[in-house]
Amino acid sequence: MLEDKLIQLEEIFSQMPKAIVAFSGGVDSSLVSFLAHRILGDQVIAVTARSPSLLPEELEEAKIQAKSMGIRHEIIETQEMQNPNYSSNPVNRCYFCKSELHDRLKEIAYQRGYSYVLDGVNLDDLSDYRPGVQAAKERGVRSPLAEVGMTKFQVRELSRNLGLSWWDKPASPCLSSRFPYGETITPIKLEQVGRAEIYLRKLGYRNVRVRCQEDVARIELPAETIKDFINNEDIVTLISTFQSFGFVYVTLDLEGYRSGKLNQVLESQSVKNFG
């Protein structure tokens, strides 16, 4: 099954003379970059967008991964924060972020004679509310993983089989996803959330989110780790540290971490997936 999908992916890349990959450093776009580079060599460029919604640590990891793959890697600055349609944080916020990104990538592709822009969208992404997928489609971006029907689990399995050391890297969507829809996003708020998550990562928690609602930080950890977290961590120091980042209150989500949790408010609004 995986071997068949690998063959299909290689066939897709072999039909492309040149390609640019929207490279976040996540497991999905890394697999696309790795396979495209294996087929096309220097005719592939991995491009990472730097903005306040990207953790600096994530950018550094993307640099390391690109170097280990031997792929050409470029970093561009995106300006989605300047767009009030993004910073006001509507339910389709991601549409404006991806519009900014792919408009920039299309411009680069046109200027340099690249026929294709690729992303790391997989089959599972199409079952969630992902307005950014629509923005990419409107701009002619191809999603090879989704095209061959690869799920996130299969992406990780194939990455492991190919010897990619980051195959089990936790998902890390942009920091803007930590805010409930309708709460204005600012660079200062993004920095607060980023510093808080980095702090928890340094304590050893890989799958972690710090959701922010005004002056409240809500920590999400895997449910099975909550008890040990409460018993073993220095909560007083943690609270003091979070307050130094700018939060007033620090809470723990007893339901535990669940990807896309803030999208649950959309279910009652019958918002459909653009993808």
Same domain, 41 and 138: yes
Instruction: Tell which wins on pLDDT, 263 or 63.
Output: 63
Task: Examine the pLDDT at 197 and tell me if it is beyond 90.
Answer: yes
Tell me the residue range of the domain where 96 lies: 2-161
Instruction: Tell which wins on pLDDT, 15 or 56.
Output: 15
Max CA pair span of the chain: 58
Task: Give CA 234 to chain center in angstroms.
Answer: 30
Take residue 224 and report the two structure tokens written for it.
């099975």
216-220 vs 209-213, strand pairing mode = antiparallel
Residue-averaged pLDDT of the chain: 92
CA-to-CA distance for 20 and 208, rounded, in angstroms?
31
pLDDT at 171: 86
Q: How many domains does the chain have?
A: 2
pLDDT digits (tens, 9 = 90+) for 159-177: 999 999 999 998 888 899 9
CA-to-CA distance for 75 and 120, rounded, in angstroms?
17
- 135 located within any domain: yes
Same domain, 148 and 27: yes
Q: Residue 272 — very low, low, confident or very high, per pLDDT cuts 50/70/90?
A: very low
Same domain, 250 and 124: no
Same domain, 131 and 83: yes
- 196 located within any domain: yes
Task: Give the mean pLDDT of 122-147.
Answer: 93
The residues, any chain, with a CB within 8 Å of residue 35's CB and separated by 6 or more, are 6, 9, 10, 13, 144
CA-to-CA distance for 30 and 167, rounded, in angstroms?
9
pLDDT at 132: 92
CA-to-CA distance for 77 and 101, rounded, in angstroms?
9
Same domain, 153 and 184: no
Same domain, 145 and 220: no
pLDDT at 262: 60
Same domain, 135 and 61: yes
Residue type at position 64? I
* Alpha-carbon torsion (253, 229, 251, 183), positive or negative: negative
pLDDT at 129: 82
pLDDT at 273: 41
Task: Examine the pLDDT at 49 and tell me if it is beyond 50.
Answer: yes
Task: Give the mean pLDDT of 97-103.
Answer: 96
- 275 located within any domain: no
Same domain, 192 and 150: no
pLDDT at 267: 56
Q: Residue 7's domain is classified under what CATH number? A: 3.40.50.620
**Cβ–Cβ < 8 Å for 189, 163:** no
CA-to-CA distance for 170 and 27, rounded, in angstroms?
8
Task: Examine the pLDDT at 53 and tell me if it is beyond 80.
Answer: yes
CB atoms within 10 A of CB 114: 19
Q: Residue 106 — very low, low, confident or very high, per pLDDT cuts 50/70/90?
A: very high
CA-to-CA distance for 175 and 183, rounded, in angstroms?
13
pLDDT digits (tens, 9 = 90+) for 58-85: 999 999 999 999 999 999 999 999 999 9
pLDDT digits (tens, 9 = 90+) for 234-259: 999 999 999 999 999 999 999 998 76
Q: Residue 127 — very low, low, confident or very high, per pLDDT cuts 50/70/90?
A: confident
What is the value of pTM for the model shown?
0.88
